[in-house]
Structure 1
Amino acid sequence: MTALLLVHGRGQQMPLGMGRSPEDVARHVAALTRLWLAGLAKGAVLAAEGPPTLEAVHLPFYGNDLAARVADLDAAGGPPPDLASGQDVDALIQHMLIDAAEGAGYRAEDRLPQTGADGRAAVAEIQEIRRTEQLVHPEVEWSDFLRLQVARSALQFLAVKTGLAAWVIEQFYRDVAYYLTDVGLRTLVQGVVHRSVASAVDDGHTDLVVIGHSLGSVVAYDACQSLPPGVVIRLLATTGSPLGLRVVRRHLSGPGAGTEHRPVPEAIQPWEPAAPGWVNAYDVRDVIALVHPLGPLFTGGEAIRDERTNNPSSPHAVEDYLADPEVAGPIVRALTGASRPS
């Protein structure tokens, strides 16, 4: 019996002025679920699979709690610095912006003339070390001054590259950084996801197909590291994912914590040997998924099938990702194939 788990990202909270009764929340979650399933149904038809037969669908909704926690953290000036790593959330955001821009072709040494010859030489040296992965502690290579300068330059590069306002890009990466650095927020989100998994198990569904979008792909990866005994992931699908960023991978849960060399989760067991265990979809215009493909970046990455999409309504839209037949096809086959009697 296979259940479908939909793990959403940031910005999914209920609009201001909307009621917060259990009935209001249920209607909001139902609307989000329909949006995802509409995209999947379109993609399934285009993949010649027909509309998927769904035994159980769970969308663990933490949007309201995530938004409230982020607002509290903003009011407090962000999460407190992680004293163990010597890094605060602002530094993490800056590293994420630099990683994303580099994935899109950015070279800091070519874009910082205002730092002078000595500054350009220092940036060029650091960039070469980063490219050849010679660093033992890759998150402390920049001085605070140079990191800030490079991050500002990278943000402007991303804004031009994607056509998004700089403040929109910062918001996306800020919420990912908050999730990765604030223990309370991470625990809250993971608790909601694991309650949905427990509900599926209670209903007899120990096989799961998991779709994670944006920040939800990071949440889904973390959740895969601590599933109840006997629960198997027949397919993990990530869409618009920031998992390509080195600094994000270093903060994931599970084996290899603290390094960028992370494994494909052991809980992933494809429904048949020839099927992919992980499908990752990216639009090259999606500012959150600019570092791609994921296969070469994860140990065991041969299990990952990377699919490039061309999302018509918005580069980051989950419904567009799921409407791509090369993404929907494996999802539907995993849902139906894993549910067939052996």
Structure 2
Amino acid sequence: MARIVCVHGVGKQQAGEHTLLREWVPALRDGMARAGATAPVADMDVAMAFYGDLFLPPGQRLAGDDPHLSWWDVSSGWETDLLMEWWGHAAATETHIVAPDTRNLLSGTSRVVQAALLAVSQSRFFAGLAEKALISDLKQTHRYLTEPELRTTARDRVRALIGPDTRVVVAHSLGSVVAYEALCAEPGHAVRSFVTLGSPLGIRNLIFDRIDPLPVRGRGSWPGPPSTLWTNVADLRDVVALAKDLRPCFGPDIACHLVPNGSQAHDATHYLTKQVTGAALALGLGLGLD
């Protein structure tokens, strides 16, 4: 079994495990090099838990186009609420984005959604992302949380790769939710280091209060034995990782770090190349650091 299991984030339905590993493996090696890891990671040491295809329409080829989506496809309630959270965070961290105000909020759901999509599309994080892709990412997260069969299948793909030799699970974006739930379902696992990158796990009401297992008295379960180390890495401007510090939700033992990812604040490879990420990987593998 792989010593490192990777779990990708949202919006990867047109990719695959091998395609993603070609991006992730060099990046995680760079991060470990920045940390001074004394031994390299072989290709066979790393596996990718791929679940993106679960979001493709039935019968559609992996190379097909995404369905056309527009503002009217954003559902009221959860999807609109998360979109508004993205808008508020983008406005708070990027001065050129106009913040939502009372006039926005009182203008009706359709106008709010259109205004939010316009504002968020101007964020550096969403720069160059088509509106339909932005909405698709929103809907994928919602579907994961509300479709039990899809949720179970995604988690099972992670669990299938975690064996007695697995020491590190590193997960990005929505994948951090999938990986967290998979690890909680395997309480006796041998994973030493759980690394979350650009994670939305700390978004109360919308994400945190819907995780499985459910939080107890406001505290989420620890994803494994007490000896499991958890490192969370976030960019201050990462719109998806709205709550940068996960300690209020999961306890004080999480090592939380802020990193600068440049104009692509949520990019997985930018997170992987960071020294703090490489150090967490090396620690889980039992490698020395220079």
- 1:314 and 2:271 are equivalent in the alignment: no
Q: TM-score, normalised by structure 1?
A: 0.67
- TM-aligned CA deviation for residue 252 of structure 1: 0.6
Identity level (%): 25
CA separation of 1:13/1:149 partners in 2, compared to 1, >3 Å: closer, same or farther? closer
Whole-angstrom distance in 1 between the partners of 2:286 and 2:211: 30
- 1:61 and 2:50 are equivalent in the alignment: yes
| Partner secondary structure for residue 265 of structure 1 | coil
Select 2:183's aligned residue among 214, 224, 248: 224
- TM-aligned CA deviation for residue 190 of structure 1: 1.6
**What are the residue-to-residue correspondences of 1:20-99 with 2, within 5 Å?**
28-53=16-41, 56-68=45-57, 90-99=76-85
CA separation of 1:41/1:109 partners in 2, compared to 1, >3 Å: closer, same or farther? closer
Number of equivalent positions: 270
- 1:5 and 2:5 are equivalent in the alignment: yes
Select 1:254's aligned residue among 207, 213, 235: 213
CA separation of 1:148/1:235 partners in 2, compared to 1, >3 Å: closer, same or farther? farther
Whole-angstrom distance in 1 between the partners of 2:270 and 2:225: 25
Select 1:184's aligned residue among 149, 152, 157: 149
Instruction: Name the Cα RMSD after superposition.
Output: 3.5
Q: TM-score, normalised by structure 2?
A: 0.77
- 1:112 and 2:117 are equivalent in the alignment: no
- 8 Å CA contact 1:41, 1:50 repeated in 2: no
- TM-aligned CA deviation for residue 215 of structure 1: 1.2
Letter in 2 for 1:34: R
- 8 Å CA contact 1:47, 1:326 repeated in 2: yes
Unaligned stretches of 5+ residues in structure 2: 61-65, 93-97
- 1:236 and 2:236 are equivalent in the alignment: no
- TM-aligned CA deviation for residue 43 of structure 1: 1.1
The equivalent of 2:63 in structure 1 is: none
- 8 Å CA contact 2:159, 2:183 repeated in 1: no
CA separation of 1:114/1:170 partners in 2, compared to 1, >3 Å: closer, same or farther? closer
The equivalent of 2:224 in structure 1 is: 267
- 8 Å CA contact 1:10, 1:66 repeated in 2: no
- 8 Å CA contact 2:11, 2:136 repeated in 1: no
Whole-angstrom distance in 1 between the partners of 2:83 and 2:184: 26
CA deviations 1:246-270 (Å, max 9, x no partner) are: 211111101427x8x3425250544
The equivalent of 1:132 in structure 2 is: none
- 8 Å CA contact 1:11, 1:67 repeated in 2: no
Unaligned stretches of 5+ residues in structure 1: 16-27, 78-87, 120-144, 272-276
